[in-house]
Structure 1
Amino acid sequence: MEFSVKKIAFLVVAIVAGVGLALVPPPGGLEASSMQVLGILLGAVILWAGGVLPEAATAILMSMLFIVVAKVPIDTSLSAFSGSTFWLLVAAFGLGAAIKECGLLERISILLLRLFPKSYKGQVLGLSAVTTITAPIIPSKAAKCSILSPLTRGISEAMGYKNEGKEATGLFLSYYAATCFSPAMFITASVTTAALVGMYSPEIQEQYTMVTWALCAAPWLILMFVGNYLFISRRYRPASGNKLDVSFLDQRLKELGAWTKKEKIMGVVMIVTILLWVFKSQLGVPEYAAALFALVAALAFDILPIKKWRSNVAWDSLIFIGCAVSLSTVLPAVGVTDWLVAAVGPYTSMFFSNPFLMIAGLAVLTIVVRFLILSEIGYLSVFTAFLFPLAIAAGVNPWIVGFIMNAFVIVWFLPYQSSVYLTAIHSAGEGWVTEGATTKYCFVYCAIALAASFISYFAWQAMGIWTI
């Protein structure tokens, strides 16, 4: 890896700022170890912002400095690795690789798309619906895009739409917007959402199972689905009512061939896994255990060969997530959380007491900071560690705070902000849609998300989950 002038500058700033903060005399309520942890964290945030090191390398460095410099016990600094969230992610990464390997997602997507009207509006609806329905199957948004982008381009060209035209752009945005908003409802639809679960307290994690989470998120997701569909189907609709030549989908199914044994087994495994998640309370099988059982089945039946498991799973991302999520236990352990609530809590009560101000503030904070911190999980791990205690002190459910931040963390105003966006726009090949036309839609997406959040407040109040 080469160090550019920019990276060297960020490295110097990270060292100076981190060491400087670590050496500041601790105010009342904090100890020297507290300032050391804050200094190390500040340095890590700057390294992430500058992309000086790979994300996982910075996360490991941060955790090791917590142990060596601030004397944080290893079972605290690396607590997430023994938690249920980490092992759910291990299983989810493996299952995602298995489903992609056997081709199950593409087959299911094609079969579902054939059920929708062949008009432009029908395909916009179909792409949005299929992406949302299949979202929980693969936790990697980028992996989903690598499958759905070529399929969507094929649909666009089969309908006779000009590449880089507004109709093609609308079809792209139909599935891509759903890729972005569906993880807010389904924990296993995104590595980011699954990691967010680990940032909550054990009590919150116990309360918000996969089913409960989905039910609480449903009002927001429904509004997002309808809002994006209405805008895209009207703004990008063609002048003429072209119909999809269904032979394109039939041809693609023919190329896939008959259902393979591995696809059938993987389909059964996923159905059983989902049933175990839904009936968790009755059966007493933890969600991570059900997912790990499914992973064992995928490995045992060679749906995911061991060599592919080693090479096709982003192990560096798992390490990064484990280190980053552990911040939720490190900061309380050195007294930062209690001090923050006592020192800052009284001044933030007005912010949290006004639901619309809080929602708008969290949205703006997330959008602005994501221009600096490119990692979705890096941003959430740092800011949830500070905002959750303040929300609890103000009587606001931290689940709501995390949900709102997660709803806006996927922004793609500029291509460099999102590796998912770059995968989506390039995996179907050059010359289909343009960055200029698709990044502009992020403004619309965020406006719909903000309106959906405002309206969902009333639903969350009625459900009794806004406050604690």
Structure 2
Amino acid sequence: MITGLEKQIEKSQPLKSAVLPISKPLALVVLHVLFLAGIVFIDGLDYRSKIALFTFLSAMTLWVTTKIPAGFVAISLIVFTILMNAGEPNLLYESLSEKVVWLMIGSFIIGEAVKESGLADRVTLMLLSKSKDKGKVLAGVSSILFASAFFIPSTSGRAALSMPIINQLNQKYTKKEQSVFALLAPIIILMSTSATLIGAGSHLIGIGLLETTVHQSISFIQWFIWGLPFALVMTTLSFFTVKWLLWPRDELRVLKNTQSVETSLLKKQMNRTEKKTLILMIFLIIGWMTESVHGYDIAFITMVGAILVMTPNYGIINWKQGIKSVSWNLILFVAAAAALGKMLVETGVVKWLEKEILSFLHLFTVAPEWLIVLVILVATVSSHLYITSHTTRAIVFIPGLLLFSETIGVNPSAVVFLSLIGMNYCVTFPVSSKALLLFYEDEGNSYDAKNLLKISAILMPVYILVMMTFYFSYWQWTGLQL
């Protein structure tokens, strides 16, 4: 979809658009040659380590600067590593055995079951029946989107699930109000991500790197205690900021025709499918929160739920529906990207980096705690401006931040948690998140990118300030400390 801005650019800059296809590939080739030349002359790395470092730098460059599918880049570079005899074929095969891969597969299937069961439609009608005030319905939708973070472990999945609800509500709102809805929904989805460990795949990747590197971890319940209050505060602040800046004040405040034929459906009792779905979601949440009791990790519990919803004759959806609901492009990207990050650790690149930059990092050993926290937050919160993929940000930043924590002698778990929460902020541009992009590209229910930028100009510094406040108060009181 070509926006009006893109059309203007095409008209006003014909020469630039004609030159870019030639200059960009050449620039990438030159950059890769420079990478290769610099890495070849490093004495502290063996052959396998040099290939691993070159592969990782290449992946980062292609992810950030090109439109080549991220999964294609990651898998191709793993194959390149193997062909260069710097890794075994198992590097490719075992990438699909990562916990985060199976968590995401299961979450897509469960999300499809929730959608097909009719619960989303019932919730929408319930909202409309409770109040005629547009503002209260807006708050109600935001509450539901916030709660969805606990049972749909994917921001894009939550965005896809919310779109039918938003489209139904749009029948009661004006065009201006609809555009606010289209912007508010993904912002609430993204701000609520921090509430739970399963809120984003990047959380699982970060925790996985924490476990692999320093043998520490953050449990579901620990994350819940630390993340939920922060997510509540930021979601509330985001809601009122969007409403204050964008909600039209000259429109009617009362919904029209709320007593429609649709609301009469609420009088009907929940059908068998809806009841099964609701019971399953309750048991899944209990299973996720009691991981330390039964010993099964979150990914396994999620796959158990996915199997149950696809069980023939007794499930909610069939096998074909479940498999089609999975974003295999995203799954393969996450698997391959995680393998690239893991390769840096196994080949000794991370250890080499630690040795080389030890003297620089030691400067922070005498830095005050507030400065260390601020540096971590500014680096991670702003990372979405130049690395658009949430998952990629975790893969790129977490190994370096773990090295930073070990070098200056601070708690790695605290650094990883703060970093992952910081990386959850990504509401500046439509491309900063799949959830934002999903609504932005919807022709019938889109928003103005300028409004998103306006919102971010306020929320970004507020986000950092709230994180600093939480760290030196609630988080320290509950045991999170550098």
Counterpart pick for 2:333 among 320, 324, 334:
320
**Number of the residue aligned with 2:12:** none
CA distance in 2, matches of 1:387, 1:373: 16
CA distance in 2, matches of 1:327, 1:79: 12
Q: Is the 8 A contact 2:62 2:68 kept in 1?
A: yes
TM-score norm. by structure 1 comes to 0.85
**Number of the residue aligned with 1:163:** 175
Q: Is the 8 A contact 1:376 1:410 kept in 2?
A: no
Q: Is the 8 A contact 1:415 1:439 kept in 2?
A: no
Counterpart pick for 1:385 among 399, 409, 422:
399
Counterpart pick for 2:451 among 421, 424, 437:
437
Q: Which moved more, 1:286-295 or 1:391-400?
A: 391-400
CA distance in 1, matches of 2:263, 2:361: 55
Counterpart pick for 1:90 among 86, 105, 116:
105
Counterpart pick for 2:262 among 225, 247, 251:
251
1:162-201 equivalences in 2 (<5 Å):
162-164=174-176, 167-201=177-211
Q: Is the 8 A contact 1:77 1:326 kept in 2?
A: yes
| 1:40 paired to 2:55 | yes
Distance 1:275 1:78, change over 3 A: same
CA drift of 1:337 comes to 1.1
Distance 1:376 1:262, change over 3 A: same
| 1:453 paired to 2:467 | yes
CA distance in 2, matches of 1:343, 1:108: 56
Distance 1:73 1:256, change over 3 A: farther
- 1:105-154 superposed Cα distances (whole Å, 9 cap, x missing partner): 34345536755x65354334322221111222223323322343453355
Q: Which moved more, 1:243-252 or 1:392-401?
A: 243-252
**Number of the residue aligned with 2:115:** 100
Q: Which moved more, 1:286-295 or 1:247-256?
A: 247-256
Ranges in structure 2 where 5+ consecutive residues have no aligned partner: 1-17
Counterpart pick for 1:217 among 202, 218, 227:
227
CA distance in 2, matches of 1:32, 1:14: 23
CA distance in 2, matches of 1:214, 1:389: 26
CA distance in 2, matches of 1:126, 1:350: 49
- 1:386-437 superposed Cα distances (whole Å, 9 cap, x missing partner): 222222322333444444444345524233333321212444715x643322
Q: Is the 8 A contact 1:219 1:456 kept in 2?
A: no
**Number of the residue aligned with 1:146:** 160
Q: Is the 8 A contact 2:210 2:216 kept in 1?
A: no
Letter in 1 for 2:388: L
Ranges in structure 1 where 5+ consecutive residues have no aligned partner: none
Q: Is the 8 A contact 1:198 1:325 kept in 2?
A: no
What's the RMSD between the two structures over aligned residues?
A: 3.4
CA distance in 1, matches of 2:427, 2:87: 36
CA drift of 1:89 comes to 2.1
| 1:291 paired to 2:306 | no
Q: Is the 8 A contact 1:124 1:170 kept in 2?
A: no
**Number of the residue aligned with 2:32:** 18
CA distance in 2, matches of 1:282, 1:267: 23
CA distance in 2, matches of 1:178, 1:358: 29
Distance 1:112 1:157, change over 3 A: closer
SS at match of 2:316: coil
Q: Provide the aligned length of Structure 1 versus Structure 2.
A: 459
Distance 1:415 1:170, change over 3 A: closer
CA drift of 1:180 comes to 0.7
- 1:157-215 superposed Cα distances (whole Å, 9 cap, x missing partner): 53xx5422xx5555444433220111122233333434443333248787322222121
Distance 1:66 1:465, change over 3 A: farther
**Number of the residue aligned with 2:477:** 462
| 1:261 paired to 2:276 | no
Letter in 1 for 2:299: Y
SS at match of 1:29: coil
Letter in 2 for 1:330: M
Q: Which moved more, 1:77-86 or 1:450-459?
A: 77-86
Q: Is the 8 A contact 1:192 1:376 kept in 2?
A: yes
Distance 1:287 1:153, change over 3 A: closer
| 1:347 paired to 2:360 | yes
Q: Which moved more, 1:241-250 or 1:409-418?
A: 241-250
CA drift of 1:364 comes to 4.1
- 1:285-317 superposed Cα distances (whole Å, 9 cap, x missing partner): 322222111111111134232222332211121
CA distance in 1, matches of 2:467, 2:429: 23
CA distance in 2, matches of 1:282, 1:51: 45
Q: Is the 8 A contact 1:146 1:427 kept in 2?
A: no
| 1:125 paired to 2:136 | no
| 1:338 paired to 2:351 | yes
Letter in 2 for 1:68: L
Letter in 2 for 1:103: G
Distance 1:204 1:70, change over 3 A: same
Distance 1:425 1:378, change over 3 A: same
CA distance in 2, matches of 1:205, 1:153: 46
Counterpart pick for 2:96 among 77, 81, 86:
81
Q: Is the 8 A contact 2:111 2:161 kept in 1?
A: no
CA drift of 1:446 comes to 1.6
CA distance in 1, matches of 2:467, 2:261: 40
